[in-house]
Structure 1
Amino acid sequence: MPSIPLPFVVALLLLVLLIEVIRRDDRLRAGGKPANLPFLALIGASILQSVLSGLRWGYEVQGAMYLLPVVAALLPPLAYGGVSLLVRKSPLPLGRQLVLHALPAALIVGLMLFWRDAVDMALVAVFVIYAAAILFLMRPGADALRLMPLENATPAYRSIIFAAVMLLLSALLDLYVFLDIAQGRGSQAIILITMGNLAGLIALSVAATIASRSPSPVEEDRDAPAAGPVEGDREIMATITAQLEGRKLYHDAELTLDRLARKTLIPARQISGAINRSTGKNVSQYVNGFRIAEACDLLATSDKPVTEIMFDVGFQTKSNFNREFRRVTDMAPVQWRETRRRETRLRPPSP
């Protein structure tokens, strides 16, 4: 019975993942939310890379070796492009962005033609540079994701950091393979490349998770006037709290830091700084605190199902709701409701 090279299995799994992400994005587009195209292209490029790896190492198709480095050079720019859509719009026009981020692949093509020995080290440099660029975008923490719904900002931030680390690990893996072959051994090359494909699957799964919830900057509400400077954390916190409590802005499941800034007429950076300095939390945690407080009230005073309460207070996924509820109360919602009712029954009546 013929065996199937592991990279082909990875490619098949990635294809299933891509189909699922596209299906989710179709649902998002039905609600007016464009897909994160760089992340979709990232998965597609990874499928191609896995197929080429299977042809090269499983069936010794020599032609694949000329395409593998070029496709690999596309992955870091696509990852960076997907992340940048969650952070801000690029100051460069789309055409210039495409040209700029196509340069690594063009460089690899040139090296393949004129200086093949430098290809591996050039790929290492590309992976390291783009990983550093992603980490630079994420330096403000979860609040950097100004265009992402606050419900998903914290897990998305962790996923992006993980993806950047995976790029760095891929660079180290490529460097090790290069040195292993340069020293005349190369016995571990196939095993390491296979492991790299599996690691890539994990990283791309994370990227796909982010892509399925990534709004586009063009959908943001632009009717509010530009914000002016606001002095003093106390005044900023009072304004934010009044808007969240009075207008129940946290009920908006698609609430982002940018949208909160426009609603309060306070620059996003000032909101993030004031909340962080005053509460020690990021914006996502602070807003989710209002949602959890109302959820606790509904759990204690109504018989609504937990899922209905989750939607009422502004959450869209049970995993995020349960995670934030445990962060605030150290209990699951059902456990909290049962504990509260037990305490109520045991409490002596008022005189």
Structure 2
Amino acid sequence: MIFLPLPFVVALLLLILLAAMLRGDAGHKGNRPFLALVALCALQSIIVGLRWGYDVAGLGYVLPVVASCLPAFVLESFRNLSHREQAETGAVWIYASPPLSIVALILVSPGLVDIALILLFVGYALVLLNLSRTGPDALDEARLEGAGAAHRALLIAAASLCLSALVDLSVLLDFQWSKGANAALIVSSANLAGLLFLGLTAMVAARERAVPVSAAAADRASSTAEDRDILDRIDHLLADQKLARDENLTLSRLARRAGLPARQISAAVNRLARKNVSQYINDFRIAEACRLLRESDMSVTAAMLESGFQTKSNFNREFRRVTSLSPASWREKNRAAGRSEA
């Protein structure tokens, strides 16, 4: 029987995932960092399979170099969803310095390689958490309908980097205590789970990225009156100009149409509405969907599309968040109430 290491199975799943992303809407130019991340995860899985499944010892020097590239690609991918971070993402050092540092350690002090990888993964995980600290509004290039999902993917990616650091620590201790007797098992299970999680989160986040647009933004102080004016301007765009129906609507695109800085819109919504921009827009869309369900005979799917949602899962989740009912149940209840009043 042919022995197929688990890392090869994970690599195959990641390659299938990559093919699906290339065939779908996630394959446009703006999502190249996500595509590169999934490809890198697949490559690392293959190398792990060859190293620990077939005992190709020479790849033991290649594996830490490839692994050191991973955190930078994770960070760059999610920065790609943040317009405010784009100015920082073009620096070559964000990709080059980690692998170059690991190569230098392999040549000079191999015993420090595992420790360096642990610090690298934890460090980048902390940077990701810092990026996520303001919630979904931090990802202002993500479609507002799916900004929450992209934000959750960001947190899972940070957790996956921490998992990889924990695996490296376990392997390091295993070599210290039992000369690596359990290293293959550790690497072939927990670490690969982290790679698969990264690939899946990359797909989720990539799907929520809209076609990039450029916008100039400058922060300025905002009073309550200014906040009210901002929300009135946003409401006008959403209602009168039907901007809520734009499936690629993002915070930066909304800011461009309103002629305002994205951070100023986010701050105004947070202060007055006590929610993030994604929730504010989705509340508006749900209100429109409720109107359509109450006043017309169109199907739930048609009302979903007409109000600006593109996927049933997001629509049903947001509808329940706002109304505590499913769309069909809400329609039945409100039509029954209307008949009783008549």
**Matched residues in 1 for 2:86 and 2:277: separation?**
23
**Matched residues in 2 for 1:237 and 1:337: separation?**
29
Distance 1:57 1:93, change over 3 A: closer
Q: Shift in Å at residue 234 of structure 1? A: 2.9
- For residue 65 of structure 1, the aligned residue among 60, 69, 88 is 60
Are the counterparts in 2 of residues 229 and 266 from structure 1 also a CA contact under 8 Å? Answer: no
Are the counterparts in 2 of residues 151 and 320 from structure 1 also a CA contact under 8 Å? Answer: yes
Q: Shift in Å at residue 215 of structure 1? A: 3.3
SS at match of 1:18: helix
Question: Given residue 101 of structure 1, which amino acid in structure 2 is its aligned partner?
Answer: Y
Q: Shift in Å at residue 335 of structure 1? A: 2.1
Question: Given residue 207 of structure 1, which amino acid in structure 2 is its aligned partner?
Answer: A
Question: Given residue 8 of structure 1, which amino acid in structure 2 is its aligned partner?
Answer: F
- For residue 205 of structure 1, the aligned residue among 186, 197, 200 is 200
**Matched residues in 2 for 1:188 and 1:182: separation?**
11
**Matched residues in 2 for 1:35 and 1:241: separation?**
29
How many pairs align?
A: 338
**Matched residues in 2 for 1:212 and 1:267: separation?**
25
**Matched residues in 2 for 1:292 and 1:161: separation?**
27
Distance 1:48 1:302, change over 3 A: same
Q: Which residue is equivalent to 2:317?
A: 323
2:21 matched to 1:21?
yes
User: What stretches of structure 1 of length at least 5 have no aligned partner?
Assistant: none
- For residue 87 of structure 1, the aligned residue among 78, 82, 102 is 82
Q: Shift in Å at residue 230 of structure 1? A: 4.7
Q: Which residue is equivalent to 1:123?
A: 117
Distance 1:297 1:216, change over 3 A: closer
Q: CA RMSD in A?
A: 2.1
Q: Which residue is equivalent to 1:55?
A: 50
Alignment of 1:1-351 (within 5 A): 1-25=1-25, 29=28, 34-88=29-83, 89-92=85-88, 94=90, 97-195=91-189, 196-215=191-210, 217=212, 219-220=213-214, 230-232=222-224, 233-345=227-339, 347-349=340-342
Q: Shift in Å at residue 117 of structure 1? A: 0.7
Question: Given residue 91 of structure 1, which amino acid in structure 2 is its aligned partner?
Answer: A
Q: Shift in Å at residue 313 of structure 1? A: 1.1
Distance 1:187 1:71, change over 3 A: same
**Matched residues in 2 for 1:319 and 1:98: separation?**
39
Distance 1:135 1:225, change over 3 A: closer
Question: Given residue 21 of structure 1, which amino acid in structure 2 is its aligned partner?
Answer: M
**Matched residues in 2 for 1:269 and 1:181: separation?**
49
Are the counterparts in 1 of residues 319 and 326 from structure 2 also a CA contact under 8 Å? Answer: yes
Question: Given residue 320 of structure 2, which amino acid in structure 1 is its aligned partner?
Answer: R
Distance 1:117 1:299, change over 3 A: same
SS at match of 1:214: coil
Q: Shift in Å at residue 92 of structure 1? A: 4.5
